Structure 1
């Protein structure tokens, strides 16, 4: 005969109906009284503990106790008193109903474990906040340590709850789990790796849903739309979906563009190749001709005056241009582009703006433009960058410079 059949027989057949109703009414009255007692005990205990902690925190110099109150540790500790009272008084309420008592006590123990975990979490959060206020610990990964500790506490807590629900001792439960761990590791290898990766990603805050990431190994270049234990889904800009194993986020390299998106601009870093043979010194006639370019007129006048003063003081023979100090067409062009980019309406003026020469190559001298567009949207960014380089390429000829490109015969021979 099943347990339910025993219960049904004992209380509805073995006993009279009036006696059963009497037992139920008695239990209901005691249950109501118990609920009232627990409510009062919870309110009083919470008020007393919170008041004690608040008064104590005001008298101490350290802010650790203040953080305990702010993280609600006293409030959660206060719930322990009603829980202990409930565990001790419930057998009296369900004295005539042992079947109910068994299940309710089981639920109370589960609640006790969860409450204990929340209390420990509040204390750990207090330590986390307190350690962050200490100068020598400000640069330490306190969050990681606290979260790993909480992970182990949750594992132990969940194992304890399962042990209670299946009516097995904690030690036997872990012994049984250990014996099956080899099979579990083999079957759930990817899930376990993904779980560990998810924890590390969450701890380090390295990837969030909505982040734009680039991972060449998997052909991913787009926004993260989902992160789970096994895969990270990335919607590429061509609207295709790429699935990346979650553990690849900690084992492989990738680029997260979140820093760019949260900054004041998107970087433009591109160069044009100038033919080395087109670089030359500028004569006075060349300089006078270039003064017609408004952006650099003032610069040329100032530099020309300084150079003439220097050359006069050092008796430089200017019948040969290389003597003394001189302006070059590539230097003036670099200054022109620097001024042009600085005045461009779509360039962020508060971030780095630089036009620089890179190391010469067999193809020529790279002149790199380095700046940040104010608008970070992809299509607008491409338009701004193209606008700057359209102007740069068209302006090259005004400075008697040439852009490098392979001769047609050379391209045909390679083909």
Structure 2
């Protein structure tokens, strides 16, 4: 500043204006230097680095460039220049140095925060990130960085040691626990979820309490984000997956089979013993020909050995149409290309009720995709509903308006 002042005096500038003009010129020079330094940093150095990164196709470097991490560093240059020239402003030196240093601290911790985010993005490019997400830990680290940065900024503005402020944080621990309650619970839950692999990115989970039923698309410090099958998004507190029950369908997807557990209800009044005509008819069914022959021989041998009088159908053993139907369904499923034959396959009879006799299909489709699963399941039951009449069976259904209408016509004719 003295140099500028002497130059102005040499040009014959009035003493009353020398200090003011010197001050303005110095500010102008510093501003110009800051603009030039910032321009060189952003337009020359950073562009050169970006060019080299793209040229050599550096994976991590591309992410750093795209997220403009290096641009954050360019903000240091003007602040350092201002801090360096602060001594020329004797009156305002302390204020300028304090403000410049505060800006440098803010930029530094902003850079660290951005670097943590980029680190998480780089980590997500690896397969391990699907089973071991670190987003929650990154968010905790960001909170710590923000707290430390805030303490340093306040300490710098007050001109005090940061350790004095840190010593007072203990007294505020109860307030901190209250403010960061969800974050702390989320951190503990996140560690448990990650360590036990209860939830991974891409898992299909179902949480009835929160109305969530879909794929996990994000696991953060406080929440687990689920994209439901209707394309809505549900945010679930991380600790809720520890404290409450939920369903994770990952094991089903990895097993390669998706379960069918559905019943066909048979009208019990249509169940009867098989006549010879019915047995001969069943022999013509491809899936049943061997079963009918073997079963008939087994029953006849039993009745002969035990001297059963078959003049009455109640005596001895005999085939029923419902039994033959169950055998047909089992044979049909064992030959179905959409059924997983290495998993449990069963056609069972449940307890009869007001809707008839349930014949339940318990099997696994060999494809876990929802659309394929529903198609295979529908095809099977389409066939069973259509084929039940071939065995003299009627599927149960509550009377409809059309049934009542038909009954009214019959009564009217009588």
Deviations 1:365-390 (A, max 9, x none): 11111111111111111101111111
Deviations 1:272-314 (A, max 9, x none): 1111111111122221121111101110000101111111111
Gaps of 5+ in 2: 1-136, 153-160, 405-414
Which stretch has the larger CA shift, 176-185 or 285-294? 176-185
The one of 396, 400, 403 aligned to 1:408? 400
The one of 321, 344, 352 aligned to 1:352? 344
Deviations 1:298-355 (A, max 9, x none): 1000010111111111121212112101111111101100010010011111111111
1:263 aligns with 2:230: no
Query: Distance in 1 between the 2:256 and 2:375 partners?
Result: 18
Query: Distance in 2 between the 1:267 and 1:177 partners?
Result: 56
Deviations 1:252-279 (A, max 9, x none): 2211110011002111111111111111
Deviations 1:34-72 (A, max 9, x none): xxxxxxxxxxxxxxxxxxxxxxxxxxxxxxxxxxxxxxx
Structure 2 residue aligned with 1:190? 182
SS in 2 for 1:363: coil
User: 1:251: Cα distance to partner?
Assistant: 1.7
Query: Distance in 1 between the 2:250 and 2:393 partners?
Result: 39
1:242 aligns with 2:244: no
Gaps of 5+ in 1: 1-150
Query: Distance in 2 between the 1:237 and 1:411 partners?
Result: 38
1:252 aligns with 2:225: no
Structure 2 residue aligned with 1:230? 222
1:369 aligns with 2:375: no
The two structures have a TM-score, normalised by structure 1, of: 0.57
Of structures 1 and 2, the larger Rg is shown by: 2
SS in 1 for 2:361: strand
- Please identify runs of 4+ aligned residues in structure 1 that moved more than 6 A: none
The one of 216, 222, 225 aligned to 2:208? 216
SS in 1 for 2:214: strand
Residue pair 1:283, 1:321 contacting (<8 A) in 2 also: no
Structure 2 residue aligned with 1:46? none
The one of 168, 172, 190 aligned to 1:180? 172
Query: Distance in 2 between the 1:362 and 1:177 partners?
Result: 69
Count of residue correspondences: 255
SS in 2 for 1:315: coil
Query: Distance in 2 between the 1:411 and 1:257 partners?
Result: 42
Query: Distance in 2 between the 1:294 and 1:411 partners?
Result: 35
Residue pair 1:290, 1:297 contacting (<8 A) in 2 also: yes
Residue pair 1:281, 1:322 contacting (<8 A) in 2 also: no
SS in 2 for 1:395: helix
Query: Distance in 2 between the 1:324 and 1:247 partners?
Result: 63
Query: Distance in 1 between the 2:334 and 2:392 partners?
Result: 23
The two structures have a TM-score, normalised by structure 2, of: 0.57
